[in-house]
């Protein structure tokens, strides 16, 4: 065996060693991504168990989101500081231990504290997992590596509510946390035995305390505003206004400091390298479409069509499977030199078709109406994510891969949170508009309204209710009919705006700099 081949195998693990490394990384990433959404469907049960109000229990979600988004961009620095294997394994252990304590919590303060610590561990998992997976493959196979990581990014948030609903319904809410323990132990074992430090890694000469401080202030306050703004009526709340100002100043100081300091905690200059500016914008929209639709669809079918949470979650599994298949195919296409712009553009158009079809929903829509629509979503999202991950990391080497991964993952997470907040505001506005419009056509003097009330009243009379009871119940039934109708119209508008925002990304795809490889060569993205 030549010296060059031995060196290459030392840097890129072959065979079973690579399988174990990738398995450890993808399990850890899935743990983090599932826990972003697994708690949402169980908040009512948790609140009832520990005696918390609806407003208080929201901190179980917010505490995790805040600590998680802080750690994601810092993972590259900590990996070099402590060693990738040590940091990744420690993050898994912290996440797993915090999960155990979350499951055993008896008070609100306990579960909020442990969720915050769980987020600190989880934030180190996502970026490190992507770096580990990408580092396990040679440059010409980076597209396949990103496809493997992308499966976790897409599938995790989708199956989280399903798993959470099933565990809560079949056992108790404690198991949405306790289920992480055996999986976390397996991931920690694989990490310690198979993950190695990054070749050529150098410890930072000094810790960038100011950069970390500005990041913590800017990102944590921004995440709080995005998570809690709707509950506090946004900028009508003095707290939200104050935190928005602090967030803006914190992020501005963070960027300025990191741009000019010699040893930054987060190398923000990478945002301007190659296709990273375009990739950052596409990641924001990707986060919006991914998290926004996962947020909106359950509300739509449960409020408008009467689905149960478990039914909703089970319905979304085939779409997640379609995403996995799509990501695998995209990885192969990119490795073979298919133009990533063509794949991304096709994915955008498919997602737009999904949004348009969802925007045509009606009270008569059923599970069958959405099945192939969500298959389209899965395929389209997979075709968008793979090339976006590839263009962001293509040409990066060494520490820049971890830094770029941290930046892109943070941008996508914040894009998802911002997308949910924006769609929630838009949904509220459209509800008000459609409610006003429908009520203007519903009055007791309108023949169609009289016919509907008579039908409702007759039905209740036939069921044995008195005339007064039947009339009162008929009015309530009519009110419910109007409510469902304007709710569905509002959700249709939300899906359509998602489609418009996605379509607006199409010109950006044309701006991606791409150099077609020669026969037998590897895919290259031009960068400066």
What is the DSSP annotation of 73-117?
GGHHHHHHHH-HHHHHHHHHHHHHHHHHHHHT--SHHHHHHHHHH
Identify whether 242 is part of a domain.
Answer: yes
Over 50: is that where the pLDDT of 481 sits?
yes
Rounded to whole angstroms, how far apart are CA atoms 394 and 401?
A: 9
Over 80: is that where the pLDDT of 94 sits?
yes
* Pair 91, 125 in one domain: yes
Over 70: is that where the pLDDT of 370 sits?
yes
Rounded to whole angstroms, how far apart are CA atoms 298 and 417?
A: 17
Rounded to whole angstroms, how far apart are CA atoms 31 and 34?
A: 5
* Pair 102, 214 in one domain: no
Residue 524 DSSP symbol? B
pLDDT of residue 97: 95
Name which of 163-172, 261-270, 352-361, 435-444 the model is least confident about. Answer: 435-444
SS3 397: coil
* Pair 5, 43 in one domain: yes
Residue after which a domain boundary falls, among 207, 225, 242: 207
Tally of structural domains, the chain: 4
Rounded to whole angstroms, how far apart are CA atoms 366 and 368?
A: 5
40 vs 327, residue with greater confidence: 327
* Pair 17, 166 in one domain: yes
480 vs 324, residue with greater confidence: 324
Over 60: is that where the pLDDT of 525 sits?
no
**Torsion sign, CA atoms 37, 416, 93, 50:** negative
**What are the phi and psi torsion angles at 243 (to 5°)?**
-70, -30
CB 488 within 8 A of CB 362: yes
What beta strand segments (E) does 129-285 contain? none
Identify whether 199 is part of a domain.
Answer: yes
pLDDT of residue 281: 83
Residue 391: domain span: 271-423+492-528
Rounded to whole angstroms, how far apart are CA atoms 436 and 65?
A: 36
* Pair 76, 154 in one domain: yes
pLDDT of residue 318: 85
Query: Among all chains, which residue has been given the structure tokens 């599932």?
Result: 34
pLDDT, tens digit, 9 for 90 and up, residues 127-148: 788 788 877 777 667 667 767 7
Rounded to whole angstroms, how far apart are CA atoms 367 and 307?
A: 9
189 vs 172, residue with greater confidence: 189
CB 352 within 8 A of CB 384: no
Identify whether 428 is part of a domain.
Answer: no
* Pair 398, 465 in one domain: no
* Pair 256, 280 in one domain: no
Over 60: is that where the pLDDT of 1 sits?
no
CB 291 within 8 A of CB 418: no
Rounded to whole angstroms, how far apart are CA atoms 184 and 494?
A: 37
Identify whether 70 is part of a domain.
Answer: yes
* Pair 248, 302 in one domain: no
| Predicted structure pTM score | 0.77
CB 242 within 8 A of CB 465: no
pLDDT of residue 520: 45
* Pair 404, 391 in one domain: yes
Check which CATH number belongs to the domain holding 70 and give it.
Answer: 1.20.1250.20
* Pair 75, 97 in one domain: yes
How would residue 3 be classed by pLDDT, with cut points 50, 70 and 90? very low
Name which of 88-92, 210-214, 237-241, 468-472 the model is least confident about. Answer: 468-472
pLDDT, tens digit, 9 for 90 and up, residues 311-366: 777 787 888 888 888 888 888 887 777 888 899 899 999 999 999 998 888 777 77
Tell me what percent of the residues of the chain surpass a pLDDT of 90.
10
Residue after which a domain boundary falls, among 264, 291, 306: 264
Mean pLDDT, the chain, whole residue set: 79
List CB contacts of 437: < 8 A, sequence separation 6 or more.
Answer: 486
CB 67 within 8 A of CB 123: yes
* Pair 230, 182 in one domain: no
- Once rounded to an integer, what is the mean pLDDT over residues 166-184? 86
* Pair 284, 309 in one domain: yes
pLDDT of residue 484: 74
Which uninterrupted H or E stretch holds 467?
helix 467-503
């Amino acid at each position: 065996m030549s010296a060059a081949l031995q060196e290459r195998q030392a840097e890129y693990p072959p065979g079973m060693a690579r399988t174990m490394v990738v398995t450890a990384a993808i399990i850890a990433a899935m743990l983090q991504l599932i826990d972003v959404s697994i708690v949402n469907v169980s908040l009512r049960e948790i609140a009832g168990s520990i005696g918390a109000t609806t407003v208080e229990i929201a901190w179980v979600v917010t505490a995790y989101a805040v600590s998680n988004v802080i750690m994601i961009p810092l993972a590259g620095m900590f990996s070099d500081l402590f060693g990738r294997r040590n940091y990744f394994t420690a993050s898994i252990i912290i996440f797993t231990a915090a999960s155990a304590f979350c499951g055993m919590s008896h008070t609100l303060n306990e579960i909020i504290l442990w969720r915050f610590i769980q987020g600190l561990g989880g934030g180190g998992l996502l970026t490190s997992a992507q770096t580990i997976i990408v580092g396990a493959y040679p440059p010409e196979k980076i597209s396949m590596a990103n496809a493997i990581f992308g499966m976790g990014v897409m599938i995790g948030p989708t199956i989280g509510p399903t798993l959470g609903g099933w565990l809560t319904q079949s056992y108790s809410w404690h198991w949405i946390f306790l289920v992480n323990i055996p999986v976390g132990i397996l991931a920690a074992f694989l990490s310690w035995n198979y993950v190695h430090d990054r070749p050529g890694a150098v410890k930072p000469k000094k810790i960038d305390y100011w950069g970390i401080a500005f990041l913590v202030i800017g990102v944590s306050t921004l995440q709080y505003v995005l998570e809690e703004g709707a509950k506090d009526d946004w900028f009508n709340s003095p707290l939200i206004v104050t935190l928005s100002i602090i967030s803006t100043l914190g992020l501005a100081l963070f960027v300025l400091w990191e741009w000019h300091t010699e040893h930054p905690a987060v190398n923000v200059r990478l945002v301007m390298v190659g296709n990273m500016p375009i990739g950052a914008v596409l990641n924001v929209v990707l986060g919006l479409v991914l998290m926004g639709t996962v947020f909106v669809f359950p509300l739509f079918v449960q409020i408008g069509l009467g689905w149960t949470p478990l039914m909703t979650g089970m319905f979304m599994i085939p779409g997640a499977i379609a995403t996995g298949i799509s990501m695998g195919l995209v990885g192969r296409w990119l490795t073979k030199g298919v133009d990533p712009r063509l794949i991304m553009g096709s994915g955008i158009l498919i997602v737009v078709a999904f949004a348009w079809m969802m925007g045509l929903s009606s009270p008569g829509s059923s599970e069958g109406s959405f099945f192939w629509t969500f298959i389209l979503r899965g395929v389209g999202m997979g075709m968008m994510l793979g090339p976006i991950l590839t263009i962001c990391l293509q040409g990066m080497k060494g520490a820049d891969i971890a830094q770029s991964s941290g930046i892109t993952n943070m941008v996508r997470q914040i894009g998802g949170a911002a997308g949910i907040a924006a769609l929630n505001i838009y949904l509220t506005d459209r509800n008000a508009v459609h409610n006003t419009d429908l009520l203007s056509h519903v009055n007791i003097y309108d023949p169609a309204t009289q016919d509907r009330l008579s039908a409702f009243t007759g039905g209740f009379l036939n069921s044995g209710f008195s005339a007064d009871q039947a009339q009162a119940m008929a009015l309530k039934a009519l009110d419910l009919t109007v409510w469902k109708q304007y709710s569905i119209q509002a959700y249709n508008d939300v899906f359509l705006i998602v489609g418009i925002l996605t379509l607006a990304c199409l010109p950006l795809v044309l701006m991606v700099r791409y150099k077609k490889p020669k026969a037998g060569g590897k895919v290259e993205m031009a960068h400066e």
